[in-house]
Chain A
Amino acid sequence: QVQLVQSGSELKKPGASVKVSCKASGYTFTTYTMNWVRQAPGQGLEWMGWINTNTGNPTYAQGFTGRFVFSLDTSVSTAYLQIDSLKAEDTAVYYCARVGTAVAGGDYWGQGTLVTVSS
C-alpha cells in the first residue's frame, strides 16, 4: 500500500534552517510528482509547489521562492523540504502529498510535520 512517512516535529530558533523528509513506499517513487503543502495554525491548506521526482525539477508557488528548497534522494525514495532563515511565521504543519492522476492536490498524503519557530 502507498505510504508517505514524514520526519518528526521540529523546534527551531529564528534564523535557523530545517529539513523535513518524506519517505515514500508502496509505489515507484519516480513515477509521481510530489507536492508540498503548508498549513499554518488554524488556517487552510496552501500549496507550496511540487517537485518532479523523475527529473528533479522543482516548481515553487508564489510566496515560496528563495528560502524554500525541494530536493530528492531517489535511492531511498525520499523527498525533502528545506526552509532557510526561519521566521516565526513559518510555524506550520508541512505535508508532502503524491500528485495522482487527475488529482493535482495529491491522492496520498504524509502525516504532516510540525515546524515551530520560536526564540
Chain B
Amino acid sequence: SSELTQDPAVSVALGQTVRITCQGDSLRSFYASWYQQKPGQAPVLVIYGKSNRPSGIPDRFSGSRSGNTTSLTITGAQAEDEGDYYCNSRDSSGDDVVFGGGTKLTVL
C-alpha cells in the first residue's frame, strides 16, 4: 500500500480551478513531485520542489504544501489537462521513493 494518499477521481468544469491533493507523513519532511499521465503515454513531470515547473509546463499548474498535505492546483483547467495525476516523494524513512495511488482528472 502507498504511503501517499490521493483521491481516486476529481472533476472540474472547463476554465475553473481544481486542486488535487496528496497526503502522507513523509510530506512534512520532503517536497513532492507531480506527474501527469495520459492514456498510453509515459508520465510527465509537471511540478517539483516548492512549486517549480519544468520547461514547457504551463503556468496554470502550481504546487503548495501544508503540513502533511501537498497540493497540485490547476488554475483555469483546459481540456488537455485531463488525465491521471500522481504525486511522488520519499517515504517516511527517506530511503525509498513512493508514488501516490493517482487521481483521475476529468474536465467537464
Contacts and interface: CB of A to CB of B under 8 A. Distances in A.
Interface residues of A, number: 24
A107 B43 CA distance: 10
Interface in A3-46: 35, 37, 44-46
A47 B97 contact: yes
A45 B99 contact: yes
Contacts, number: 65
Given A44-B101, A104-B88, A95 B43 contact: yes
Q: How large is the interface on B (under 10, 10 to 19, 20 to 34, 35 or more residues)?
A: 20 to 34
Interface in B58-103: 84, 86, 88-90, 95-102
A49 to B, nearest CB: 8
Interface of A: 35, 37, 44-47, 50, 59, 61-62, 95, 97, 100, 102-112
